[in-house]
Chain A
Amino acid sequence: MAILLDEKTKVIVQGITGREGSFHTKLMLDYGTKIVAGVTPGKGGQEVHGVPVYDTMEEAVKEHPDAIASIIFVPARFAADAVYEAVDAGMKLVVVITEHIPVHESLKFINYAKQKGTTVIGPNCPGLISPGKAKLGIMPGHVFKEGPIGIISRSGTLTYEIGYALSKQGMGQSTVIGIGGDPVIGTSFTEAMELFEKDPETEALVLVGEIGGDMEERAAQMIKEGRFTKPVVAFIAGRTAPPGKRMGHAGAIIMMGTGTYQGKVKALEEAGVKVAKTPFEIPELLRQALKK
């Protein structure tokens, strides 16, 4: 078991003929991901690394009705359109790698996907990987190993660093999700935690947060209320970073008291979560948490 993605998940790559799309299609195929089709408007009929390309999602799904997930490498201006297309084609999971999508666009397609029952990961994210099974993203596969630890992260490269540190200590991962760095994202900490809570293979969870926003505080609240019961270790990047840019009075009022490093650590510790000072403390803290 893993969450959202395994070796049987059939995947469509949107934007498969582009530089990034084609490059990562190869890497995902090499890792074992079942990529059944690609979509690039105007490039229907071609093949990319042996994967058939279609002009539209509708055609791709017609030929490959068992596809349930898509990954989007489409440039920012056209990415929202690609998400609507994926949702309307019945995808259950849509991973949006693209960065620089206007936030008003993300706001709308995320609300739309939710109404239709589609899970969106991202935008501006590295995707997800269920080690040993499949990866739907751009992370280097070799740093992750199969095992019982779930990871949810707001950061890309930092996730690789932490996965690497855990794997080296023999602590493999069930599923690793990079939820993305944009202000509005499809899957939050708490939403991903609900999935990990239900996954029997996941024994403990690592939360990789950052300063800003209030997702860590909400995760702490969820743990405090007993809605997430597995051991959790957290790391928050940005202890020494200056406070982020102010956004008018409205920004300050809405974020009142949340978003700082100290606030996040306090909230998590009050919920019984150990917070690592460096990413390299995480394996030891996990070991202690699992012993209890």
Chain B
Amino acid sequence: MKLFEYEAKEILKKYGVKVPKSVLVKKGEDPIEKMKQAGLEPPVVVKSQVLVAGRGKAGGIKMAKTWDDVKRLVDELFDKPIKGIKPRLLLIEEAIPHEIELYVGMVIDRSERKPVILASKYGGMDIEEIAREKPESIIRVHVDPFIGLKGYQARLIGKKIGLTGKALSNFAKFLTALYNMFMDYDGELAESNPLALVGDEVIPLDARLIVDDNALYRHPELAKEILEESGEYTEWEIKARKKGLAFVELDGDIGIIGNGAGLTMTTMDLVYEFGGKPANFLDIGGGASAELVKTAVSFLVEFPKTKKIFMNIFGGITRCDEVAKGIVKALEELGKLEKPLVVRLAGTNEEEGREILKKHGIEAFVDPIEAVKRLMEL
């Protein structure tokens, strides 16, 4: 789960990091009054609190030099969608004059199976281009998850991005705080870009934290409903998630249901190979109940992009008879299926499953190629 900038900065404060003084405003609140209460004066930076990447380039961050600017920019940014998403909150932050912008981030390196810290002296909006053009300018250091980030490693990273003296030790302190936050909060990503160098101090002008969804149970204070705001999902994807379906919207017109991500993706590829275009990815996972299957089938019948539906099930934990019962339930609930459905059933209890479907006039294929061919004829 992605956290907003202001949330990540709040957490960083707990680790002793100095962040720019700020106020958070909701729509309808008087920004001037809030600023005055907090002892904040222009120049300030008004920042749209959205979760989508590339916020700066999309015009979601503006400098306000006067009180009038603040008023105008607050109104402007509340009304300005960033990649389709309007902010619910704005962060008004003291402007920090600086000349040097650094980059630091960390993720888990899948291959090395260790956290990896990335740092560069060329922070700012073009960091990915820099990584492509001058890969040697990005410092990478792996950390042993049991030993943690050692002081010398943090200083070495600082040294390699050109810091010396007091700035070096301040950077090392900041990096240690960011790493500790990353580990304590089950981070998939922790990042500060840009990290401003002001005299000897380093100040995070932006901060990002993505928390592993599987670990949210131990960070209950962070859990929130942000489907709409995350900017990652379409209207139908949000509807699907609310029904507990793993669904991704695509551009074609053939509805796809499979069990297991690999098989579902392969089913999409197969349809494509035979000249069709998938309208979606929908994975009912392992051991799906009849109820879930019913929900999935009804959902794709409702989903306006689909003209026909292809269901490809290879039973392992998933039982084909349970799947068949789900299809029948959908059929009974909807009266009739308004869109043609082609089913392929194989694996655990396939005979029973086919028998159930046959009684309701639905033919289930054994061979997926035959099934796709039939699908394309319809």
Q: Footprint of B on A, CB under 8 Å?
A: 20, 76-77, 100-105, 107-108, 110-112, 126, 138-140, 143, 153-161, 164, 181, 183-184, 188, 208, 210-211, 213-215, 218, 235, 237-242, 245-254, 256, 277-280
Contacts and interface: CB of A to CB of B under 8 A. Distances in A.
B261 interface: yes
B269 A238 contact: yes
Nearest to B216: A102
Interface in B267-306: 268-270, 272-273, 278, 281, 286
Interface in B32-56: 53
A265 B46 CA distance: 46
Contact of B217 (A77, A160, A242): A77
A235 B250 CA distance: 22
19 contacts: A76-B214, A102-B212, A156-B286, A156-B316, A158-B260, A160-B316, A161-B346, A210-B265, A237-B262, A239-B272, A240-B265, A240-B269, A242-B250, A248-B53, A249-B193, A250-B189, A253-B118, A253-B128, A280-B369
A188 B269 contact: no
Contacts of A215: 110-111
A102 B103 contact: no
A249 B261 contact: no
A247 B107 contact: yes
Given A240-B272, A242-B248, A156 B214 contact: no
A215 B232 CA distance: 26
A218 B111 CA distance: 9
Interface in B70-117: 103, 105-111, 113-116
B189 A248 contact: yes
A107 B113 contact: yes
B189 A107 contact: no
A156 B288 CA distance: 14
A242 B317 CA distance: 27
Nearest to A181: B261
Contacts of A279: 266
Given A103-B214, A104-B145, A161-B266, 16 more contacts: A108-B145, A111-B144, A112-B146, A126-B316, A155-B262, A157-B260, A164-B346, A183-B110, A184-B110, A235-B266, A237-B262, A238-B265, A246-B53, A253-B118, A254-B116, A254-B118
A247 B144 CA distance: 22
A253 B316 contact: no
B214 A251 contact: no
B327 to A, nearest CB: 18
Interface of B: 53, 103, 105-111, 113-116, 118, 127-128, 131-132, 135, 138, 140, 144-146, 183, 186-189, 191, 193, 208, 210, 212, 214-215, 217-218, 232, 248, 250, 258-263, 265-266, 268-270, 272-273, 278, 281, 286, 314-318, 346-348, 368-369
Contact of B347 (A76, A107, A143, A211): A143
A103 B118 contact: no
Contacts of A184: 108, 110, 113
Contacts of A164: 314, 346-347
A181 B265 CA distance: 13
B189 A251 contact: yes
B335 to A, nearest CB: 31
Given A158-B262, A280-B369, A249 B127 contact: yes
Contact of B273 (A111, A153, A188, A278): A278
A113 to B, nearest CB: 11
Contacts of A237: 261-263, 265-266, 269
Contacts, number: 182
A254 B107 contact: yes
A85 to B, nearest CB: 18
Among A77, A103, A164, A250: residue with most chain B CB under 10 A: A250
B345 to A, nearest CB: 12
A120 B266 CA distance: 27
Given A103-B212, A111-B114, A250 B265 contact: no
Given A76-B214, A249-B103, A140 B369 contact: no
A104 B215 contact: yes
B233 to A, nearest CB: 11
A148 B262 CA distance: 24
A103 B314 contact: no
A253 B248 contact: no
A102 B215 contact: yes
Given A213-B110, A254-B109, A280-B369, A107 B316 contact: no
Contact of A214 (B110, B127, B314): B110
Contacts of B266: 158, 161, 235, 237, 278-279
Among A101, A215, A252: residue with most chain B CB under 10 A: A252
A104 B212 contact: yes
A44 to B, nearest CB: 27
Among A105, A184, A248: residue with most chain B CB under 10 A: A248
B263 A155 contact: yes
A184 B110 CA distance: 5
Contacts of B315: 140
A108 B263 CA distance: 30
Contacts of B263: 155-158, 161, 237
B188 A247 contact: yes
Contacts of A155: 260-263
A210 B262 CA distance: 7
Contacts of B272: 239-240
